[in-house]
């Protein structure tokens, strides 16, 4: 069945909004997730978590874990939905871990170094907190939802410190790390001092890091002059700039690293754009660019081009990303409309291979066989489609065929 | 009463997350708004709308109206909540107008010029659609919710064309306009051709426009060379660049105008960053920057500085923006802690003036009078606080005072 058309080029200026609505219509409330909790034995307390799960039966989703979830959750859900709608990242499960309690500085720091200037009390519980994430939270998420083996870890400020610590010392836990203005000053820059050795002596193949640096400097300072600034305000940014220097100098460790300095954002406001830029960085090559020639040139091997693209994306991300079902389906019908039968057949066959539980993929393949007057195969395809899901329009075509 | 501290400077690196949670805890669902509808007599049909209303009794909120609401709503709700949390814009009511139906190209175009290349059918209903917004939708929103007299209008593609049309011909309807890669090519660039005269012969005092220009060009083109490009793909961007030229050339009309070209975004993906940049532009001077000296210098006239800032913001935005209650309250307690009694008194008095329905503002003023041992006025303040809302901690202080 031909779906509402996927738009291949930006020329379709007026119509790309015409996709089927995903917003809820059956209820008055617009709901983006649930509040849940984990009774943690490791921490001996109940932990509040926020969870967003995209719709899509049979699909597997990467999981983004964000610290200080109460602050970041809603914005990330909206942002990633929007980025996905323009093919700039995959849909994701988003898990907000609440740190909005008296134990925040305990959870996010690995070493004991209380500092009243920063209201750091009861520090040093990071190891236990990561044990909670690894042994209790992740298993809960991965048994409850349909997850792809790709995890993103997001932290801001003290949370950014925990993200850096995890990348350096437990890199197996996540695939991609977003460290937003991390509190590298903690405990007399302890982690920063350890980082050069760790980054030099280890490899970080298939790991991504995005480091965001906010403008937390006194007026009149810049990222050069602040390095010699001994003032209180310089204490935040200097160790972050030093972290950046080390990361730039050790890039032979295969870590995929990018960073950005945000001149117009302070320590608090930097998080939003940082998260956006990080996701765009991780998913830089994700989007399939449909060139006009792929559709107009009858000899273009579009199914092969698509497979090659998504194999490359899968290798880069470290998990299998399949060609988008609607994109392939629509390209198939475009080819069929142009009587490019080889191309159309290959595309529809690609879809039933990738989406064997999709009734519509088999229905479309049936349409293809109908068009080339291969009624036997059309019947096989429609039969398969109906086995998966009884659909009136498929049934009608089937009955018409059987009457012949 | 002293609230959980508002953080004045970015130095409070570890603790700014410690604000009271606004997320729902009483239910498992995380809800950001409602689906509602308007039975439109003007359009003779039922129109679906999405509505987000911030919490906050007694507060008045600007209203952001966004076309193609189903696509933009969630991302805007999260974005504006996040921008507000870092004081980069006010909280807002967000109204998503659904255009995801067969009448989209009818609603968003003012002139009849169907074009099968862009699947434009049944065009030319823009005037009626704007009548629906002005006569039916706006009254519904403004009678149902607590609105400030400040409206933002957001449109993308054909929606951007409608936004431009409204700014040029019905500018009284909104205060600020976001035109995202607008379809200025419509009807042989009719609106573009009219715009120079309109922009030259009228003034646009207190009106804001942000124009976003996406990279919809063929590979190898840039914003210079595309102006001579006669290809199909250049048809979108050329009239937008020409619109920008006219806006730049006619800035004596007092329109507050900014634009941005997004080299890394196509027609579809540009919307998200464009909305973010536009809100930052409209609210550029909104944030109150608390300098250390305002708090440390006993002679700093902080209440006057605050009033001056918010008066300037109010003038710029065209509606009254009051100094943030928590910010003033916390600054008051900071001054009180430093025995800066004049400063503290002025701040607490400012708050009861601005928030006469706030029990906490009167409770805080009572604390101030207690501290300076003016028991008579402390009793008056606590009494007022209790009249507004019975609160145990205020009652306790009151009873203790009355025993003296």
Work out the minimum CA distance from A207 to partner chain B, whole angstroms. Answer: 24
Closest CA of chain A from B74, distance in Å = 5
Positive or negative CA dihedral for B284, B10, B91, B36? Answer: positive
Q: Indicate the pLDDT class of residue B220, thresholds 50, 70 and 90.
A: confident
Mutate to test the interface with A, among B5, B11, B13 (most CBs of A within 10 A): B13
Q: Is the pLDDT of residue A15 over 60?
A: no
CB distance A90 to A61 below 8 Å? yes
Percent of chain A with pLDDT over 90: 77
At residue B2 the predicted structure's pLDDT band, cuts being 50, 70 and 90, is low
User: For A298-403, which CATH superfamily applies?
Assistant: Tetratricopeptide repeat domain (1.25.40.10)
Q: Which residues share a beta bridge with B147?
A: B61
Centre a 10 Å sphere on the Cβ of residue A308 and count the other Cβ atoms it contains. 11
pLDDT at A146: 93
- Indicate the pLDDT class of residue B29, thresholds 50, 70 and 90: very high
The one-character DSSP state at A115 is: B
- Read off the pLDDT of each residue in A301-307 and give the average, rounded to a whole number: 94
Average pLDDT over every residue of B351-377? 95
Q: What is the mean pLDDT of residues B386-403?
A: 94
Q: Which of A154, A196, A208 is nearest to A179 (CA)?
A: A154
Contact B33 A30 (CB under 8 A): yes
The answer, for B81 touching chain A at a CB cutoff of 8 Å, is yes
**Environment class of residue B349 by beta-carbon count within 10 Å: exposed (0-12), middle (13-18) or buried (19+)?**
middle
Nearest CB among B27, B32, B267 relative to A74 is that of B32
pLDDT at position B120 is 77
pLDDT recorded at residue A37: 94
Q: Which residues of B touch A183 (CB under 8 A)?
A: 13-14
Q: Which residue of A has its CA nearest to B72?
A: A82
Q: What is the DSSP letter of A135?
A: I
Give the integer Cα–Cα distance in Å for B102 and A309: 34
Helix H or strand E encompassing B70: helix B69-85
- pLDDT, chain A, mean: 90
* Angle, CA B211 vertex, CA B208 and CA B214 arms, to 5°: 165
Condensed to tens digits (0 to 9), the pLDDT of residues A375-398 reads 999 999 999 999 999 999 999 999
State the average pLDDT over residues A27-41. 92
pLDDT exceeds cutoff 90 at A96 = yes
**Would an 8 Å CB–CB cutoff place B83 in contact with chain A?**
yes
Cα dihedral B169, B173, B175, B179, rounded to 10, equals -60
Beta bridge partners of B214: B262
Predicted pLDDT of residue B9: 36
Q: Which residue reads 């709503």 in tokens?
A: B73
- Check for a shared fold between A32-282 and A298-403: no
By C-alpha distance, which of B13, B31, B33 is closest to B23?
A: B31
Residues 1-40, chain B, touching A (beta carbon < 8 A) = 7, 9-19, 21-25, 27-36
Q: What is the pLDDT of residue A386?
A: 96
Would you state the pLDDT for residue A126? 96
pLDDT one-digit tens code per residue, B250-275:
989 999 999 999 999 999 999 999 99
Pair B182, B164: CB distance under 8 Å: yes
B23 DSSP assignment: S
* Domain range list for chain B: 20-282, 298-403
- Answer whether B74 sits within 8 Å of A77, measured CB to CB: yes
Q: Residue B365: helix, strand or coil by DSSP?
A: helix
Q: Which site among A16, A17, A79, A83 would you substitute to test the B interface, given the most B Cβ atoms closer than 10 Å to its Cβ?
A: A17
Question: Looking at residue A120, what DSSP letter applies?
Answer: B
Is the CB of B104 inside 8 Å of chain A's CB atoms?
yes
Is the CB of A99 less than 8 angstroms away from the CB of B17?
A: yes
Q: Greater confidence, A103 or B74?
A: B74
Flag whether pLDDT at B229 surpasses 90: no
Please write the tens of the pLDDT for every residue from A104-131: 999 999 999 998 777 778 899 999 999 9
The pLDDT of residue A117: 76
Which string of b and e fits A249-276 if b means at least 16 CB within 10 Å?
Answer: ebeebebbbbbbbbeebbbbbbbbbbbb
Q: What is the arithmetic mean of pLDDT over B272-295? A: 94
- Nearest CA to A196 out of A207, A184, A187 is that of A184
Percent of chain B beyond pLDDT 70? 93
Q: pLDDT for A272-288, tens place per residue?
A: 999 999 999 999 999 99
How far is it, in rounded angstroms, from Cα A16 to Cα B236? 15
Average pLDDT taken over every residue of chain B:
90
CATH tag, A32-282: 3.40.50.1820
Q: Does A83 touch chain B (CB under 8 A)?
A: yes
* A103-112, A140-149, B117-126, B133-142: range with lowest mean pLDDT: B117-126
The rounded distance, in Å, linking the Cα atoms of B284 and B282 is 6
Tens digit of pLDDT for each residue in A177-189? 999 999 999 999 9
Residue A115 pairs with which residues in a beta bridge? A120
pLDDT tens digit sequence for B301-334: 999 999 999 999 999 888 889 998 889 999 999 9
DSSP letters spanning A310-358: HHHHHHHHTS--PPPHHHHHHHHHHHHHTT-HHHHHHHHHHHHHH-TT-
CATH of domain B20-282: 3.40.50.1820
Provide the sign of the torsion angle of the four alpha carbons B236, B242, B244, B246, taken in this order: negative
**B97 to chain A, closest Cα gap in Å:** 13
- Model confidence pLDDT, tens digit, residues B156-197: 999 999 999 999 999 999 999 999 999 999 999 999 999 999
First to last CA, chain B: 21
What do you get for the CA distance between the two ends of chain A, in Å?
A: 21
Candidates A11, A13, A181, A327, partner chain B, best to mutate (most B CBs within 10 A): A13
A167-174: average pLDDT: 98
Does the beta-carbon distance from A82 to B88 stay under 8 Å?
A: no
Query: What is the rounded average pLDDT of the residues A40-45?
Result: 96
- Is 80 exceeded by the pLDDT of residue A11? no
Query: Which chain B residue shows the shortest CA-CA distance from A37?
Result: B28
Q: Does A252 touch chain B (CB under 8 A)?
A: no
Q: Coil, helix or strand for A195?
A: helix
Q: Which residue has the higher pLDDT, B269 or B27?
A: B269
**B71 CB near a chain A CB, below 8 Å?**
yes
Determine the average pLDDT of the residues in A210-222: 89
Nearest to A118 among B14, B86, B117 (CB): B14
Best of A5, A9, A10, A283 to disrupt the B interface (most B CBs within 10 Å) is: A10
Read off the tokens for A64: 């983004």
Whether B27 has a pLDDT exceeding 60, the answer reads no
CA distance A348 to A204: 38
Place of tokens 């689906």: B35
Most confident among A15-29, A159-173, B114-128 (mean pLDDT): A159-173
Is the CB of B140 inside 8 Å of chain A's CB atoms?
no
């Amino acid at each position: 069945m031909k779906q509402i058309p996927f738009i291949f080029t930006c020329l379709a200026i007026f119509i790309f909004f015409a996709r089927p609505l995903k917003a809820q219509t059956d209820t008055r409330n617009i709901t983006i997730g649930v509040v849940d909790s984990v009774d943690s034995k490791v921490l001996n307390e109940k932990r509040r978590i926020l969870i967003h799960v995209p719709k899509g039966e049979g699909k597997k989703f990467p999981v983004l874990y964000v610290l200080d979830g109460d602050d970041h959750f809603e914005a990330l859900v909206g942002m990633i939905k929007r980025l996905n709608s323009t093919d700039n990242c995959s849909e994701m499960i988003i898990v907000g871990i609440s740190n909005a309690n008296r134990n925040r500085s305990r959870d996010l720091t690995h070493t004991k170094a209380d500092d009243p200037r920063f209201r750091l009390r009861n520090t040093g519980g990071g190891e236990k907190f990561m044990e909670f994430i690894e042994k209790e939270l992740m298993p809960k998420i991965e048994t409850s939802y349909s997850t792809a083996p790709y995890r993103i870890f997001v932290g801001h400020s003290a949370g950014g410190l925990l993200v850096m610590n995890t990348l350096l010392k437990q890199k197996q836990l996540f695939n991609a790390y977003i460290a937003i203005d991390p509190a590298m000053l903690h405990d007399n820059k302890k982690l920063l001092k350890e980082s050069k050795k760790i980054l030099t002596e280890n490899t970080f193949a298939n790991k991504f890091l995005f480091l965001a640096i906010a403008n937390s400097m006194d007026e009149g300072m810049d990222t050069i002059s602040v390095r010699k600034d001994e003032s209180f305000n310089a204490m935040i940014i200097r160790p972050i700039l030093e972290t950046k220097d080390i990361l730039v100098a050790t890039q032979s460790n295969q870590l995929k690293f990018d960073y950005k300095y945000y001149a117009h954002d302070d320590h608090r406001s930097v998080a939003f754009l940082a998260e956006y830029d990080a996701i765009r960085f991780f998913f830089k090559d994700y989007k399939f660019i449909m060139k006009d020639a792929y559709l107009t040139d009858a000899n273009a091997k579009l199914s092969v081009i698509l497979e090659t693209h998504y194999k490359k994306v899968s290798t880069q991300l470290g998990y299998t990303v399949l060609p988008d079902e609607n994109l392939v389906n629509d390209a198939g019908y475009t080819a069929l409309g142009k009587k490019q039968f080889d191309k159309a057949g290959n595309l529809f066959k690609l879809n039933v291979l990738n989406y064997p539980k999709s009734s519509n993929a088999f229905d479309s393949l049936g349409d293809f066989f109908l068009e080339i007057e291969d009624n036997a195969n059309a019947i096989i395809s429609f039969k398969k489609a109906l086995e998966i899901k009884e659909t009136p329009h498929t049934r009608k075509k089937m009955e018409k065929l059987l009457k012949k």
